[in-house]
Amino acid sequence: MLEDRRRFNRRIVVLGVLIVALIICIVFYDMRSNVFSLAQPPASYYPTLTNSAILQNWLPKSSYQYTISQIDNYLKSNNIHASSMTIKGSVTINEINGGSYDFTLLLEPQNQVYHVSVKISNSSGIISTTVSIGS
Hey, where are the domains in the chain?
48-134
What is the C-alpha separation between 30 and 113, in angstroms, rounded? Answer: 56
| Sequence-ordered list of residues with C-beta below 8 angstroms from that of 74, at least 6 positions apart, any chain | 80, 133
Statement: the pTM of the whole predicted model exceeds 0.85: no
Positive/negative CA dihedral, 34, 37, 40, 42? negative
Residues 6+ apart with CB under 8 A from 79: none
Show pLDDT as tens, one digit a residue, over the chain (135 residues).
778 788 888 889 999 999 999 999 888 887 776 666 666 655 455 788 888 899 899 888 889 999 999 998 898 888 888 888 999 988 999 888 778 999 999 998 888 999 999 999 888 888 889 999 987
